[in-house]
Structure 1
Amino acid sequence: MEDEKKYYFYVLLCADNTLYGGFTTDPEKRLATHNAGKGAKYTKLASRRPLKMILQESFETKSEALKKEYAFKHQSRDKKIAYLKKQSVEI
């Protein structure tokens, strides 16, 4: 049912120690897609893989999840790390 659909914002830790934020409705499937080199352009580089999902947050609406992704992607690395630490994620 559409009413029960969840939308997720997620953060990946790349093998080169960079961070990638994204949006999905199926976090496990999306991680597998990224690790297969078929995800976003950023994660297609072999030097960025393997990827590890270090955070996922669920939202009731697609709009909320996309806003979270946008806000995360437009921060400095230091601010991203500070946000992750607030969420009890250690890098």
Structure 2
Amino acid sequence: MKRWYLYMLECKGGRLYTGITVDVEARFAAHVAGRGAKFTRAFKPTRIAYVEEHENRASASAAEARIKALSSAEKRALAALTP
């Protein structure tokens, strides 16, 4: 069974981007290459700031909605957990 991941990227200007994927490294590379979301084409990603593993897409999507509802400070606190 395919694992899904919620990920948060730190982008230029200190902005954060959140998404889901089955392959975090490949998705990060796509964002860096300009093949990701419109947001990451405007604000290039600098690092993977946070990752959560989920058993299915539904769980990852629910986590994405939960993260997107957090304040900037709360998102940064999560990102601080990833070395």
Q: Scaled by the length of structure 1, what TM-score is found?
A: 0.81
Structure 2 unaligned blocks of 5 or more? none
* 1:19 and 2:16 are equivalent in the alignment: yes
Task: Report which of the two has the higher share of strand.
Answer: 2
Specify the structure having the higher radius of gyration (Cα).
1
Further displaced range: 62-71 or 50-59: 50-59
> What is the aligned length?
83
RMSD: 1.5
Aligned AA (1:13)? E
Structure 1 unaligned blocks of 5 or more? none
Q: Could you list the per-position Cα deviations for residues 33-91 of structure 1 after superposition, in whole angstroms to 9, with x for gaps in the alignment?
A: 1001110111111xx22431121111111111111111111221012123334xx236x
Same amino acid, percent of matched pairs: 35
Q: Could you list the per-position Cα deviations for residues 16-49 of structure 1 after superposition, in whole angstroms to 9, with x for gaps in the alignment?
A: 111111100111110011001110111111xx22
- Superposed structure 1 runs of 4+ greater than 2 Å apart: 82-85
The equivalent position to 1:6 in structure 2, one of 3, 9, 16, is 3
